[in-house]
């Protein structure tokens, strides 16, 4: 019997949104996502400018990232939760109902990265350099967005007796409770675990960004490894993922992991390989560092920079020739 030993901790939200006019309402889930996205764009713009870029690059890339990221977030959720839409009790008509939750951060990051890549190709920006300044903001957006899960009363963990347990308001919409759980049962607030984990990650990434000049892509893959590691742990606590446990072949070895845990483990291993590769290629001299910093320039800016360098070189050569002629004249005299 799942009975709560406590009645305090994280309270249930008073509501998941507000009615505006008639059928029109504002979902706090959507508000959290929008606030997170706005903060991500603001932070990325500041970091990109600090490397010599322009905010317009960030705004242009954001359009692509948001459109494809939103599509990917929903698509990944539908694919990994097929029973809710294609099962015996599922409803295909619910696929467009994003206001009821069901946006996967994993899918958003994958498709959002594709959108950024398209933008970089269009505007002549180095993809790896651009993602390095984006990832702190992306992780911040993920942290803020997790509070949307609290408002929707979803994606919480297994029942717990810990003092910070999450209480569910059963009179509101929420995901199905486990068998034996009641209105007083407390659950692991996995949304808050991920919020805290991501917020710490933002601080670490910003410190690395300000403190070190890395090889292009190192910060991006650091984000990937960090997020995958935290998500692997948090997925093990989530109650809603129990139905997605892997039966074969890992079950043959006594391993009972969720689908997202397997995906996060693979992503983490790939990220570690990429980090090792990029670390071995990091700039070790001032000349290599200056060349590495040129990646923050667009193709037009690089051409302009090269032209200025050539002009300076020609002026130095002319000055050297003048000195030689003056020296020769003096010798003749």
Distances (CA, A) of 269 to 175, 223, 276: 32, 13, 11
Query: What residue has token string 């006019």?
Result: 21
Which residues lie across from 187 on neighbouring strands?
A: 159, 166
d(CA 188, CA 156): 6
Q: What phi and psi, each to the nearest 5 degrees, are found at residue 288?
A: -65, -35
Distance CA 106, CA 142 (A): 10
Phi, psi angle pair for 21, to nearest 5°: -155, 120
Residues 3 and 184 sit within 8 Å (Cβ to Cβ)? yes
Q: What is the largest CA-CA distance in the chain?
A: 110
Give the tokens for residue 39: 């903060």
CA dihedral 208, 214, 219, 221 (to 10 degrees): -140
Q: What's the start-to-end Cα distance of the chain, in Å?
A: 110
Per the CB < 8 A criterion, the answer to whether 235 and 156 are in contact is: no
Any residues with CB less than 8 A from the CB of 330 and at least 6 apart, and which? none
**Residue 10 DSSP symbol:** B
258 a known binding residue?
A: no
| DSSP assignment letter at 101 | S
Q: Which residues are annotated as a binding site?
A: 146
């Amino acid at each position: 019997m799942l009975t709560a030993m406590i009645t305090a901790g994280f309270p249930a939200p008073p509501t998941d949104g507000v009615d505006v006019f008639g059928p029109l309402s504002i979902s706090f889930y959507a508000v959290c996502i929008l606030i997170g996205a706005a903060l991500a764009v603001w932070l990325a713009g500041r970091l990109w400018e600090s490397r010599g870029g322009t905010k317009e690059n960030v705004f242009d890339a954001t359009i692509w990232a948001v459109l494809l990221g939103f599509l990917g977030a929903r698509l990944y959720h539908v694919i990994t939760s097929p029973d809710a839409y294609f099962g015996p009790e599922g409803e295909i008509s619910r696929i467009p109902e994003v206001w009821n939750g069901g946006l996967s951060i994993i899918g958003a990051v994958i498709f959002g990265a594709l959108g950024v890549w398209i933008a970089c190709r269009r505007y002549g920006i180095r993809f790896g350099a651009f993602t390095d300044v984006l990832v702190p903001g992306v992780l911040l957006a993920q942290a803020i967005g997790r509070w949307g899960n609290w408002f929707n009363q979803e994606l919480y963990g297994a029942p717990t007796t810990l003092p910070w347990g999450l209480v569910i308001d059963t009179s509101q919409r929420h995901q199905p409770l486990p068998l034996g759980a009641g209105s007083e049962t407390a659950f692991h607030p996995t949304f808050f675990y991920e919020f805290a984990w991501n917020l710490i990650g933002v601080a670490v990434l910003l410190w690395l960004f300000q403190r070190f000049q890395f090889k292009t892509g190192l910060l991006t893959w650091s984000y990937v490894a960090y997020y995958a590691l935290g998500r692997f742990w948090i997925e093990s606590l989530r109650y809603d993922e129990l139905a997605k446990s892997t039966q074969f072949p890992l079950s043959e070895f006594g391993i009972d992991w969720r689908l997202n845990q397997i995906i996060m483990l693979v992503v983490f291993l790939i990220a570690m390989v990429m980090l090792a590769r990029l670390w071995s290629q990091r700039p070790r001299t001032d000349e290599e560092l200056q060349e590495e910093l040129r990646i923050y320039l667009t193709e037009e800016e690089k051409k302009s920079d090269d032209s200025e360098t050539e002009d300076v070189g020609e002026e130095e050569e002319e000055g050297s020739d003048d000195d030689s002629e003056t020296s020769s004249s003096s010798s003749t005299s």
